[in-house]
Structure 1
Amino acid sequence: MPEGVAWAKKMRLEQACIIVTANESADRTVVCALTIFVQLECREGRLPDD
């Protein structure tokens, strides 16, 4: 899983760009916030069973 201040800042900037682009293309506010889900992997390269 990516960690660190630089990664977090990059994700915030990318979210802002996505929000602006979506709202501009719709000519109105349609997106206010995004939720980013990070895929977690175990050492074997697959998700743990729930």
Structure 2
Amino acid sequence: MIRTIAKPQTKKVTGCGECRSTCQSACKTSCTVGNQSCERVTREEKIERR
């Protein structure tokens, strides 16, 4: 059930912006392999929100 809610949110971020909170289990691998990737998406998300 949690996987379904994390799937749409992950697509909204276009990567793994909230991996340490939302896609912690789905983006866990991406975050561990490249922590920079997660932070990079977070910055892009701020621009898209504007």
TM-score range, shorter chain: 0.3 to 0.5
Q: Which structure has the bigger radius of gyration?
A: 1
- TM (norm. structure 2) is 0.33
- TM (norm. structure 1) is 0.33
